[in-house]
Amino acid sequence: MSDDYPSLLRSEQMSLVQLFVPTEVAHDTVAELGELGNVQFKDLNPNVNPFQRSFVGEIRRVDEMGRRVRFFSTQIEQEKDVVPIRPLYDSAPLIAVGPRAPQAMDELDVTLAAHEQRLTQMNETYQKLSERTKELIEARHVLRETAVFFDKAQDHQTDIRTSFDDSSAPLLQHDDRENQYSVGTGVQFDLEFVAGTIERVRVPTFERVLWRVLRGNLYMNHTDIVEPFVDPVTGAETRKNVFIIFAHGDALLAKIRKVAESMGATLYPIDANADKRSESLREVEGRLEDLQNVLYNTGSSRRTELTKIGESLRSWQDVVRKEKLIYETLNLFNFDVRRKTLIAEGWVPTRDITTIQLALRHATEESGTSVPPILHELRTQKTPPTFNRTNKFTEGFQTIMDSYGVASYQEVNPGLFAVITFPFLFAVMFGDIGHGFIIFVAALYMILAERKLARVDLGEIMGQFFYGRYIILLMGLFSMYTGLMYNDIFSKSLHIWHSAWDFPSNTTDTKLVGIDNGHRYSFGLDPGWHGADNNLVFVNSYKMKMSVVLGVIHMTFALCLQFPNHLKFKRPIDIYANFIPQMIFLQSIFGYLVICILYKWSVDWSNATTQPPSLLNMLISMFLSPGKVDPSEQLYAGQPFVQVVLLLLAAICVPWLLITKPYLAWKDMHKIKEQGYVSISGEGDGNGIHRNSSDEVLEGEEEGNGRDIAEDGDNGEHEQHDFGEVVIHQVIHTIEFCLGCISHTASYLRLWALSLAHAQLSEVLWSMTLEAWLEPNGVFDWIVLIVMGVFWFVLTVFILCLMEGLSAFLHALRLHWVEANSKHFEGGGYAFTPLTFANPDSKE
Amino acid sequence: MEALLFNVDGGFLEGTVRGYKAGILTQSHYANLTQCENLEDFRTQLSATDYGNFLANEPLPISTATIADKATQILVDQFKYLRNNAVEPLSKFLDYITYAYMIDNVILLITGTLHERDTHELIERCHPLGVFESMPALCVASNVEELFQSVLVETPLAPYFRDCLSASDLDDLNIEIIRNTVYKAYLEDFYAYCGSLGGPTADVMQRILSFEADRRTVNITINSFNTELSKDERARLFPAIGRLFPEGNNQLAKADEIDQVRSVCENVGEYRQFFADAGSSSNGPNDEDSGILSQLEDRFFQTEVHLNKMAFLQQFQYGVFYAYMKLKEQEIRNITWIAECIAQNAKDRIQDFIPIF
């Protein structure tokens, strides 16, 4: 099967291969294989500590380079003006393979180190300068604010002066220095003070602490500095306040200084003299100007440096990421010191072996040596990883199934069938031409703009929709189809063909009764039902039965998927012991129900002699009182007999399912014992492999690396058939299946419930918003109509398409995961995770 | 009752802390760590644990101080996350945990100021969990009265300091007395608070706190031999809780040498092995004493780790939060020790850490 075109039905056939790579070409080989992306390497030294492996030194060097590159990118991100970063596809590729690769890496290392050094130096200078600038700015603020304060105080003083006697000294005056002051412009303040700046958040604490330390013997004033201070390194903003504190006595002032300093305040020496103050203000401003010039120059040269880095940042990131991956992979290899070769083992898709061979040859040529890596296949008993080749269309569907469980190797893959069944079951719940059209158009847009959108980071939510765009497209298409069946477009109905019902228009009755006019509506639901009183009753019964029919078909189909699995894995017993009884059980109860439903639909009950029977009651009484059917509710002649036979069939299936497999297993075991074989623990299947691979083992030993292969044989999975395990497993399986049949059939009724809810919700939305305003008279009505129309459309998109769509999606998902997958899916595999460089997610 | 209502407020955080606890390094991690040749290996090895890439952006060479700082920072972040999501009474319980760090910080600052160290340097050395707003102002105070009036009065520590206002001057001995008095008050208060919470929290926490109190009592006793501390004063420093209280404490208050301490401890079953086989390696009285002391210290730590591990065996109680903090601190001490041994090439002592799991 492996020679065919790759199909989704089964996962790819995989081979375990061994690679002998000469050390010289090891790096280039892995680089080449990483570009190719279809080899999953196995860890050949699981017992070795990560730091004791062969290539730790290289990894460390790459890590260091990575750290530098990260440093650059954070620096660039923090820069306020955007520094252009040249995208990867635009920049010249760095050559990291070939004979010149080590040299290129050395050069890159040196370049990075040089850039880092320069950048750190500039940062330091810049920081120092901005620190100085900050101080000067603060000093300027302090000078200005205190000047304002002093001026105000002076005004107060003159006020006080006019209203009081000289003898009653003003508040800010002190006795023993009174003789110094003179009335006029040169007012002297003889209280000592401390001035400075402090972070705004700390002001209240500062005040409180000071007040307590000095016992209230202080006068403090503070004002906000309007503009924030920005830290040049982190870019964080701090807001500060200017404060000035008056107190008396050297001890107190020393205390204030100490508290202020420990609280993180900066103090500035301010002179009480106004002239000196303005002089120092001038000086500060002069220095500030100089500094700002220097700062500007430093900043611009730093920016130039960053721009230069930005040009090649992306390619550096890329190279560093790849190198790290390469060396991490090389660490998985077994290093043969004597021969200077690396031995690698890994899984590859059998189909791709030739491609890999080519890649290996290419790698050898690139690196300019003549010793090519040797690849050969190993035979093994180990279970290979599961690898389903997908394209952009099937990827989404496959992911849906993989997130439930990864299929066993070469098992029938439910992802293939989900391509059709998933959108279909969704559409049964979502059936509406209009809504289907909306999501179809949305998906179509995403697909047409695929190239553009794939490059943009869409964010988590939009990214997911984009990822599932093909699923959405099919969901939209199928919804339009089921919408046609339900004859629903935004809760209205289409009238394409002639309806089967006429409503007489000339009667005076309050109740109109439709008259059959002999036509038959050729496709979908007759629009005559729309708006009828018994519409809901009719649609309810129709959709409920339809969902049971669909459910049983879906389950039967899923059950049938067992069959190819049993054939493929050569388990004929499972066909007789599992598949056939399960099928009979399902069909004799629920298959019969489906046939009854279809039969009941086909009978014209208006002319029949009996009442139409309730199928639900029929099914219940089939179990409760087998063999008896009330003649007034009989569906067809001979019904009691048929039902008894079916019930017996189902009843036989249960012990059949329960006992056959354990019995066969027991007989098998017995036979082996009678033949005199005794299983040696742990050697059951191993022997076979040893014999099979003995040639290789010998060859390998000659080559000096027999250990790996021998270990392979030993590690192979020995399936110890424990009889008890088989029994328990089968009991659980039987119970699960029989009960599951009932509950799963009931579970499909969600198709009915959701589609009904959807139809009702869209009808409610229509009648509550648009319907009343559909015949506008005058301008006002038109405006209301437009507003309501927009309102209606927005709600349609968000509630009906998005919310309802998500809920229908969820239920379709459940029907696939639980109801269908439980019928056949083993899901015991592990995914194929090849070494690949194409990983857009990791942004390092 | 706890089982019914505990999860309403505490379930999420208990789950979180138990998740954190699952990340504590195990014996095999330590085995790998001790094999490291240099600190870069050490970093590689740690990056495979829950610490992750916490050192990835540090330029080489890494110092052990950086490792300890970064590890503590992780713990602090976790604690803050817990604290921010907690409601009464868990939030109050978590606050109590921080008080111990506050006391340490206060004492650190006072001692530092006394020896005229640089304030900023001191503040940097403070434990981030014990930082409070007005803390820097501590360095202004020159006596206890002032200390209390100016700074501590508005902190939650205020009630603990009330008892030691009498000690007037700040010198090394007094600071030590203050530390112990405050810690005693804190332990008693925390003990009472846990008691008021009742239920399994009280059971678990009082067991841990009793041990903590006893450890302090024994340490105070041993450290006060041959100092100017009078026996009366010594007795006043003993916490009035714990398994040695009251008769053990009374005897310890009168003890003059280490043998008496031993006989007191032997009255409690769990403490009996602290002094077991200590006398075997006796070369001289001084050597013996220091040997016993370092061994005692280790055994205290081991018992503490054991008790904290036991706290995780009970559900629906707050003890896990306290225990996690203590275990994690021990782990940080361990990795710092290992890193230090690697850095100083002292491989023979590298095994002297206290394994947790």
ipTM for this model: 0.74
Contact A218, A197 (CB under 8 A): no
pLDDT at residue A761 in the model: 92
Percent of the residues in chain A that have a pLDDT greater than 90, as a whole number? 22
Q: Distance, in angstroms, between B123 CA and closest chain A CA?
A: 9
pLDDT, average across residues B113-125: 81
Higher pLDDT, A649 or B62: A649
Which residues 264-283 of A have a C-beta within 8 angstroms of B?
264
pLDDT at residue B167 in the model: 59
Q: How many CB pairs under 8 A join A and B?
A: 58
| pLDDT confidence tier of residue A679, bands split at 50, 70 and 90 | low
Give the CA count within 13 Å in the CB-facing half-sphere of A667: 7
Cβ of B32 and A49 within 8 Å? yes
pLDDT at A676 over 90: no
pLDDT at B190 over 70: yes
Give contacts of A208 with chain B, Cβ < 8 Å.
134, 154
pLDDT at residue A5 in the model: 67
pTM summary value: 0.69
pLDDT at residue B287 in the model: 54
Annotate A502-533 with b (16+ C-beta within 10 A) or e (fewer). Answer: eeeeeeeeeeeebeeeeeebeebbbbbbbebe
Give the CA count within 13 Å in the CB-facing half-sphere of A573: 11
Dist. CA A657–CA A573, nearest whole Å? 11
pLDDT at residue B175 in the model: 83
pLDDT, average across residues A814-840: 85
Dist. CA B62–CA B36, nearest whole Å? 14
pLDDT at A694 over 70: no
pLDDT at A504 over 80: no
SS (H, E, C) A355-392: HHHHHHHHHHHHHCCCCCCEEEEECCCCCCCECCCCCC
Contact B125, B108 (CB under 8 A): yes
Higher pLDDT, B145 or B217: B217
pLDDT at B332 over 60: yes
pLDDT at residue A156 in the model: 65
| pLDDT confidence tier of residue B122, bands split at 50, 70 and 90 | confident
pLDDT at residue A4 in the model: 57
Distances (CA, A) of A460 to A397, A465, A747, A841: 19, 9, 31, 12
pLDDT at A248 over 90: no
Percent of the residues in chain A that have a pLDDT greater than 70, as a whole number? 86
B150 closest CB neighbour out of A64, A202, A212: A212
Which range is least confidently modeled, A153-162, A438-447, A518-527, B138-147?
A: A153-162
A259 closest CB neighbour out of B48, B133, B140: B140
pLDDT at A177 over 60: no
pLDDT at residue A321 in the model: 86
pLDDT at A529 over 50: yes
pLDDT at B180 over 80: yes
* Residue A117 contacts B, CB cutoff 8 Å: no
Report for A69-83, A120-134, A602-616, B305-319: range of highest mean pLDDT:
B305-319
- Other beta carbons within 10 angstroms of residue B202's beta carbon come to 18
pLDDT at A556 over 90: yes
3-class SS at A5?
coil
pLDDT at residue A80 in the model: 73
pLDDT at residue A159 in the model: 54
| β-bridge pairing A229-230 and A237-238 | antiparallel
- Other beta carbons within 10 angstroms of residue A495's beta carbon come to 13
pLDDT at residue A233 in the model: 65
- Other beta carbons within 10 angstroms of residue B41's beta carbon come to 20
| pLDDT confidence tier of residue A746, bands split at 50, 70 and 90 | very high
* Residue A259 contacts B, CB cutoff 8 Å: yes
Cβ of A209 and B150 within 8 Å? yes
Give contacts of A67 with chain B, Cβ < 8 Å.
56-57, 59
Task: Give the amino acid at A787.
Answer: V
Report DSSP letters for A254-276, one per residue: HHHHHHHHHTT-EEE---SSHHH
Which range is least confidently modeled, A174-188, A522-536, B71-85, B155-169?
A: A174-188
pLDDT at residue A182 in the model: 39
pLDDT at residue A713 in the model: 42
Which of A49, A77, A201 best probes binding to B when mutated, by most B CB atoms within 10 angstroms? A49
| pLDDT confidence tier of residue A693, bands split at 50, 70 and 90 | very low
B134: nearest CA in chain A?
A205
Q: Distance, in angstroms, between A208 CA and closest chain B CA?
A: 9
pLDDT, average across residues A226-252: 78
pLDDT, average across residues A485-512: 81
Cβ of B45 and A255 within 8 Å? no
B120: nearest CA in chain A?
A262
B133 closest CB neighbour out of A56, A205, A213: A205
pLDDT at residue A764 in the model: 92
Which range is least confidently modeled, A303-317, A640-654, B78-92, B167-181?
A: B167-181
Dist. CA A535–CA A537, nearest whole Å? 6
pLDDT at A645 over 90: yes
pLDDT at residue A774 in the model: 83
pLDDT at residue B286 in the model: 53
Q: Distance, in angstroms, between B103 CA and closest chain A CA?
A: 18
pLDDT at residue A243 in the model: 84
Higher pLDDT, B268 or A750: A750
Cβ of A51 and B149 within 8 Å? no
Burial class (CB in 10 A: 0-12, 13-18, 19+), B312: middle
pLDDT at residue A698 in the model: 44
pLDDT at A689 over 70: no
Cβ of A259 and B119 within 8 Å? no
Q: Distance, in angstroms, between B232 CA and closest chain A CA?
A: 33
Q: What is the DSSP letter of B169?
A: B
Which range is least confidently modeled, B26-30, B56-60, B253-257, B323-327?
A: B56-60
pLDDT, average across residues B153-173: 76
Contact A772, A737 (CB under 8 A): no
Tell me what the pLDDT averaged over chain A comes to. Answer: 81
pLDDT at B263 over 90: no
pLDDT at residue B16 in the model: 93
Higher pLDDT, B137 or A635: A635
Cβ-based neighbours of A526, under 8 Å, separated by 6 or more:
A487, A499, A500, A501
Q: Could you tell me the end-to-end alpha-carbon distance of chain A, in angstroms, rounded to an integer?
A: 41
pLDDT, average across residues B208-226: 88
Give contacts of A63 with chain B, Cβ < 8 Å.
56
pLDDT tens for each residue of A276-285: 878 888 888 8
